[in-house]
């Protein structure tokens, strides 16, 4: 089976074919940088990373673009209301530019900690104003948009396919819709491409007049076109992005270029916490730091976020994190075991013994991932391999093939600890530092290191002959 993906546009699984042989152009809707990304947001980005890694496993050159929304995202994802960044600035008394700079950096740090491969480019909306103006102008010229004072709206009735992605119909949006109707719109479902507001802090003087700023949807259309061209292979986002955001992106891009914008649309279902919605009032919008404070590593969170199928809602609880930690420890044992066989410490006499187990696991892993990134099934193949290894002995050749397979599998999952040495090296270095601290009678630092090692599950034993350590 070749790689198949569920396309939200056709509502079915389709074989994946890129526009250009061997190359994938992929755009991921990125964060609005007015606050720290929470673990739900991170599910959407871990999914984008997993997709990229699987395409790379399948030898595609992936041109991945993930935008940074640093202006123009209105609170209710609609036209009326306050810009998320401006609201945060008003509430905190900070400058919106400073807020976006702070949370963009924070986002990059979180991505790195979670092992997300760096996209080909992370475009910022505020650095693409001319590209947006060019598209808005083009849409006006082609009769798909109209200007009223300093505002420019997209005319949804001018695009026949409007609603194809989300299933919404313009007629239904007209009746009883919850969008506050502005006097200057021709149709209540028309959406803003450009807005003018002298009170806005992040604003630009353009051909549409002074004090303007872009609508959120046009940002993504313009940044995708600038960095990937008129046609792209894959566009991703969370399930809430389907409407209005992605529906509007399709309308703008396709009316401007006359081409099909994205071949495949892929959407991640939401992460729930304790079986319900994450919300500030419930105090359950956790960040990576909350995860760390409870003693888990970033890779535990990565595993917790990718272990479910991306098209199913996924639940998060602290109890699940304990299960995740145990599951990962079990997976970490597989490479350890194989290394012992390679070192001649255990194993079968016959070098090829167990090769069939490795081959079966690899084949099942690939079938699962090719089937619309079925991670639960792919993980079952790895856990199945672990169980099989407990019952049978591997030969050296099989252990080598097994290690090679695990390295390949983990180039996609990014969660398994393949090298035990890294922990040992860290521990040795800390013990050495502690010996130095003791020699200098810096007892506070020496105790601190002991506690730090204890948190890693390492117990020190001081004796006349030196220091030894063991795992608790």
Binding-site ranges for ligand AMP (CB under 6 A): 29, 31-32, 40-41, 43-44, 69, 237-238, 240-241, 268, 270-271, 278
Nearer to Zn ion, 29 or 251 (CB): 29
* Distance of closest approach, residue 14 Cβ to ligand AMP, in angstroms: 22
Residue written as token pair 């397979």: 405
Between CA 236 and CA 360 the distance in angstroms is 32
Tell me the residue nearest to ligand AMP as measured from the CB. Answer: 238
Q: Shortest gap between Cβ of 246 and Zn ion (angstroms)?
A: 7
By CB under 5 A, residue 66 contacts Zn ion = no
CB of 70 to ligand AMP, least distance (A): 11
What stretch of H or E contains 359? helix 355-370
Alpha-carbon distance of 146 to 154, in angstroms, equals 7
Strand residue runs (E) in 171-324? 191-196, 204-206, 209-214, 232-238, 262-268, 271-273, 314-316
- DSSP 3-state assignment of 141? helix
d(CA 64, CA 60): 11
CA distance 297 to 295: 7
Compute the distance between CA of residue 157 and CA of residue 369 in angstroms, rounded to an integer. Answer: 40
Is 163 or 238 the residue whose CB approaches ligand AMP more closely? 238
Backbone angles phi, psi at 188, to 5 degrees: -60, -25
Q: Which is nearer to Zn ion, 106 or 252 (CB)?
A: 252
Burial class (CB in 10 A: 0-12, 13-18, 19+), 422: exposed
> What minimum distance in Å lies between the beta carbon of 186 and ligand AMP?
28
Q: How far is the CB of 248 from Zn ion (least distance, A)?
A: 9
Q: Is 171 exposed, middle or buried (0-12, 13-18, 19+ CB in 10 A)?
A: exposed
Q: Which two tokens stand for residue 191?
A: 């959406």
Residue 126 binds which of ligand AMP, Zn ion, none (CB < 5-8 A, kind-dependent): none
Residue 228 near Zn ion by CB under 5 A: no
Nearer to ligand AMP, 376 or 436 (CB): 376
Least distance (Å) between residue 29 CB and Zn ion: 3
Lay out the site mask for Zn ion across 197-226 (x = CB under 5 A, - = otherwise): -----------------------x------
Shortest reach from residue 279's CB to ligand AMP, in Å: 10
Does 29 sit near Zn ion (CB under 5 A)?
A: yes
Between 237 and 402, CB nearer to ligand AMP: 237
Closest CA to 26 of 187, 214, 235, 298: 235
Least Å from the CB of residue 261 to ligand AMP:
17
- b/e map of 252-276 (b: 16 or more CB within 10 Å)? bbbbbbeeebbbbbbbbbebbbeee
Give the residue with the Cβ less far from Zn ion, 250 or 321. Answer: 250
Q: Which is nearer to ligand AMP, 91 or 471 (CB)?
A: 91
List the structure tokens of 213: 């700023």
Binding of Zn ion by 89 (CB under 5 A):
no
Find which of Zn ion, ligand AMP, none residue 361 binds, CB within 5 to 8 Å per kind: none
Q: Does 192 bind Zn ion (CB under 5 A)?
A: no
Q: Which residues bind Zn ion (CB under 5 A)?
A: 29, 220
């Amino acid at each position: 089976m070749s790689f198949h993906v569920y396309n939200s546009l056709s509502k079915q699984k389709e074989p994946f074919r890129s526009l250009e042989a061997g190359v994938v152009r992929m755009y991921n809707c990125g964060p609005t940088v007015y606050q720290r990304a929470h673990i739900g947001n991170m599910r959407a980005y871990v999914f984008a990373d997993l997709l990229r890694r699987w395409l790379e496993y399948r030898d595609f050159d992936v041109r991945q673009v993930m935008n940074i929304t640093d202006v123009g995202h209105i609170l209710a994802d609609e036209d009326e209301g306050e810009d998320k960044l401006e609201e945060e600035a008003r509430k905190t008394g900070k400058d919106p530019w400073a807020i976006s700079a702070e949370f963009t950096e924070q986002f990059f740090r979180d991505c790195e900690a979670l092992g997300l491969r760096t996209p080909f480019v992370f475009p910022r909306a505020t650095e693409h104003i001319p590209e947006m103006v060019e598209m808005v102008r083009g849409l006006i010229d082609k009769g798909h948009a109209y200007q009223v004072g300093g505002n420019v709206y997209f005319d949804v009735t001018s695009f026949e396919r409007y609603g194809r992605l989300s299933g919404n119909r313009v007629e239904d949006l007209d009746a009883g819709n919850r969008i506050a109707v502005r006097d200057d719109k021709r149709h209540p479902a028309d959406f803003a491409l450009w807005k003018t507001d002298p009170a806005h802090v992040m604003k630009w003087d353009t051909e549409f007049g002074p004090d303007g700023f872009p609508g959120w949807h046009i940002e993504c259309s313009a940044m995708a076109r600038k960095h990937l061209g008129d046609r792209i292979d894959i566009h991703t986002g969370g399930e809430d992005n389907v409407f209005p955001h992605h529906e509007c992106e399709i309308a703008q891009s396709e009316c401007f270029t006359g081409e099909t914008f994205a071949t495949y649309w892929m959407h991640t279902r939401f992460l729930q916490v304790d079986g319900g919605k994450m919300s500030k009032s419930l105090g359950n919008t956790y960040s990576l730091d909350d995860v760390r404070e409870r003693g888990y590593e970033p890779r535990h969170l990565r595993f917790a976020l990718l272990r479910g199928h991306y098209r199913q809602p996924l639940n998060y609880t602290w109890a699940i994190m304990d299960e995740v930690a145990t599951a990962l420890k079990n997976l970490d044992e597989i490479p350890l075991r194989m290394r012992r066989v390679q070192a001649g410490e255990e194993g079968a006499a016959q070098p090829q013994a167990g090769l069939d187990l490795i081959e079966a696991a690899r084949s099942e892993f690939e079938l699962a991932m090719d089937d619309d990134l079925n991670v639960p099934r792919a993980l079952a193949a790895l856990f199945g391999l672990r169980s099989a290894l407990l019952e049978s002995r591997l030969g050296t050749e099989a252990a080598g093939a097994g290690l090679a397979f695990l390295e390949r599998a983990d180039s996609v999952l990014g969660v398994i600890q393949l090298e035990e040495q890294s922990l040992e090296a860290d521990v040795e270095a800390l013990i050495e530092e502690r010996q130095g601290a003791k020699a200098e009678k810096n007892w506070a630092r020496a105790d601190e290191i002991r506690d730090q090692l204890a948190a890693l599950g390492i117990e020190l034993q001081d004796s006349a002959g030196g220091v030894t350590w063991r795992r608790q």
